[in-house]
Every structure is written in structure tokens, then in C-alpha cells.
Amino acid sequence: MLHVLYNITTLLGFLLLAPYYAFKILVAGKYRQSIRQKLGAMPDEMVSALKGRPRIWVHAVSVGEVTAAAPIVAALRGKLPQAGIVLSTATETGQAMARKLIPQATAFMYFPLDLFPVVKKVIDRIAPDIVVLTETELWPNFLRHCMKRRIPAVMVNGRISPRSFRRYSRTSFFWKKVLASVLEIGVISAVDRERILAIGAPAASVKVMGNAKYDSLASRVSGEAWSRKAAQMKMTPDSRVFVAGSTHEGEETIVLTVYRALLQEWPDLRLIVVPRHPERGKAVCNLVTAQELPCVLLSEILAGAPPDRGVVVVDVIGELFGLYSLASVVYCGGSLVAKGGQNILEPAVWGKVVFYGPSMEDFLDEKTLLEEAGAGIPVRNAAELLEGMKALLSDPAELRRRGAEGQKRVMSSRGAAERYAGMIIKNMGRKAKG
């Protein structure tokens, strides 16, 4: 009965939202690349590329999940060189990042909408030997058809944020059966295990296995990556740089206030602002010019504009991680506004001290790790952010020491990707309960 109710609700929701998405596709061009595949149209060339066996379907919703999936797919490819690995995402930004970070995948696709005829068509066409869900992706119709076809499904890098936990807890009577269809659930921490058990996962299927993002980030740090970005931005190892990453609306004004104050003491300090949503780039640039500061968009730099003639605002995807390598100090957004924070490990793995606001609910483990190392500094407002940055910019030796300690902690937490790859291979021999 619950499944029938879910299908009715899902169908009604699809019909109600269809005009909105049609408008976005026709007018703004958004979703145009993904909509056909989401409705079940699989390109023949993509399916025919999946010749190898075993056939592994890895799903990673968007950019964050793709980052976690990357080292797991690399580990799988090392262990199973003949496998056909298809990587699906739900978002177009996630798809672009997947193609950049995961060359080991055989093919890429968009995940189907969770409408039963659609998921049935796609699963039957792909015919995977196992389905791998990255983080907490639970689609009832998708998992139901996997069970019907006796295709095992596992979860890797599982995490339940406080907000997700509250949402799932209200309907745990429904999710209990859905979770039972996942053969094995690997989670990041003991807290994630407690939360997913409270929602209804079988205790025997849930194991704490660590965070694969540590492996992903560590593998991407290199002097070559720094050199490319430094050349692009016309910077040297001695350049002073303030990088504000993954900022949300309301945070850029705070960043600009702090930056103007820092310029009084360090007039050579450069600022790079990376909005969480790149399409906000022009609006953020307008905020910069309203503060009587020159501004240049990264898209303009890529087209040949000088990068050293103002505040750089990033309006293209996939650049933030490399730009963190240039930073002297970092503010990580989504935290001085109530968004739950963003990934503070990305700058930390480059040896950077990271400042962030009080809203870090989605990254509590990472926050604890960096604060214990002295490389994570919580602030409540612009005044505290300014005071903290001034103190560390005035003491370069302490800035380097703290950053190095944070980097060491992140690097020492590697190894989860290999564990997850082993779990996936082990479960390919099992069959889902039909």
C-alpha cells in the first residue's frame, strides 16, 4: 500500500512540475542535456560501449558525490580491468565533473526519474551485475526493480546529515523497507551508522568504512596542478591570496567587507570568489563593482583577459579545488548563512587554514578533524573573520604550521576507497532478494 501511495505521489509531482521544467528547457536551456536520458532514452552507443564484465553501475548525484565516487571507481578499475563501469549523475554539473574526474568509467549517463516504467526500461537496458549508490541515494522504484531482477545494490560513503535525518525520520516506516533492499551499506562514521539504523536499516548490513573523499582529494594534490593555476592567475609562491569558496547569497557582501579591511594592511592581497552556483557569477561581480573594486570573471580570463586587474569571480564549474592551492587564507561558504556548510577538506588537503561560520551541520566530522589540528577556525560574523585572518596573515610561520597539520590529518585518513571497492566486488556474487 505504501509503495502504491509513493507511486501516486511521484506521478502527481511529475505532472505538476512538468510545465516548470518545460519552461526552463525551452527558455533557459537548463536540463536540455539530461532530460531525454532521465525519461529513459539511452543512447545506443553508450549501451554498446558496456561490453566488459562484470557490469557495474555507480550512481553519484552531483559534484560532491562524484568526488567520493572517483577513487572508488579508480580502485575498481585497478582490480577489474575488463569491467564495464557506467557512471550516472542526476545533475548536469555533476556529469561535467564526472567526465573530468573519472576517466576510468566506461560510459556516462543521467540517472532516470524514479517512475516505474522509466526505471524498468533503463535497468533492463543496462542490465548491471551490481548497482552502487554513492552517499545516501534511495529511490524506491529503482531499488524495487533491482530486487525483482535479483540485481544486488550496495551503498558506499553513506552519510546522513542532520537535516536529512530529520526528514527521513518522519517517514522511517516507509524507508525501512527501502533500506532492506540494499545488501550492504558502508557509512563514513559511527554517527552515520546510528542515524541510518534509526531510520530502519538492518544492523547486520551497516558497516563504518570511512570517507572516500579523503582518497579523492589526496590524489588530486600536486605541484603540477598548483603551477597550472599559478600561471593562469599570474601568481608566485609569495603571492598573498584570499579565496572565498562555495559562497552563497549574503556571504559575498561579508567577504568583500573583510577584504576591503585587509587591503589597508596588505594592499597586494588578491581575492578570488567562487560562488557555489556559477550562474551567480555576474551578480557577484556587480556586488564587487558596487564596492568600487575592479572585477574580472574567470570566463573572461579564459578568453584572454588579464587575471591580475581586480577581484576574480569564478563563473565556470570545476575550478575551485585547483584555486584553493593558491590561497594564503580561505573562507569556506554555506556557513555564515544557514546552508549546512561546504567541503572544508578541499582547501585543507592543500595545507590551507580554513575559516567558516556556525552552520556546519553537514560537515561535523570534517570540522572536528580540522579544529583538532588547529587548521579549522569557526567564526560568527565579519568582525571575527577579519580578526582571525589578520592574526594569521601577520604570522606566516604559524599559518604554515597550522595548514601543514591539517593537511597531515587529511592525508592520514586515506584508505576508504579500497575498502569500498572490496565490498562491491564481494557483493557481486550475491543476489538481491526478489
Q: Looking at the predicted structure, is the pLDDT value of residue 422 above 70?
A: yes
Mean pLDDT on 6-23: 62
> What's the pLDDT band for 9 if we cut at 50, 70, 90?
low
Alpha-carbon torsion (45, 49, 54, 55), positive or negative: negative
Looking at residue 6, what is its pLDDT? Answer: 65
Which of these, 76, 36, 25, lies nearest to 54 by C-alpha position?
A: 76
Q: Looking at the predicted structure, is the pLDDT value of residue 248 above 70?
A: yes
CA distance 85 to 8: 33
Amino acid at position 47, single letter: V
What cell does 74 get?
Answer: 579508480
| More confident site: 161 or 348 | 348
Mean pLDDT on 5-29: 61
Looking at residue 322, what is its pLDDT? Answer: 95
Q: Which domains does the chain have, with CATH numbers?
A: 23-210+415-427 (3.40.50.11720), 222-411 (3.40.50.2000)
DSSP state of 278: G
CA distance 71 to 61: 16
Which of these, 228, 184, 147, lies nearest to 431 by C-alpha position?
A: 147
CA distance 21 to 31: 8
Q: Looking at the predicted structure, is the pLDDT value of residue 26 above 70?
A: no
- The owner of cell 554539473 is 93
DSSP state of 160: -
Structure confidence by residue, pLDDT tens digits, 295-306:
999 999 999 999
Helix (H, G, I), strand (E, B), or coil: what is residue 154? strand
Supply the pTM of this predicted model.
0.81
DSSP state of 242: E
Structure confidence by residue, pLDDT tens digits, 86-144:
999 998 889 999 999 999 999 999 999 988 889 999 999 999 999 999 998 889 999 99
CA distance 85 to 121: 19
Mean pLDDT on 309-329: 94
Q: Which helix (H) or strand (E) holds 87?
A: strand 84-89
- Distance between terminal CA atoms of the chain? 18
* φ, ψ (nearest 5 deg) of residue 351: 85, 30
Average pLDDT across the chain, whole number: 91
> What's the pLDDT band for 24 if we cut at 50, 70, 90?
low
What cell does 89 get?
Answer: 549523475
Where is average pLDDT lowest: 165-174, 364-373, 407-416?
165-174
Mean pLDDT on 346-364: 96
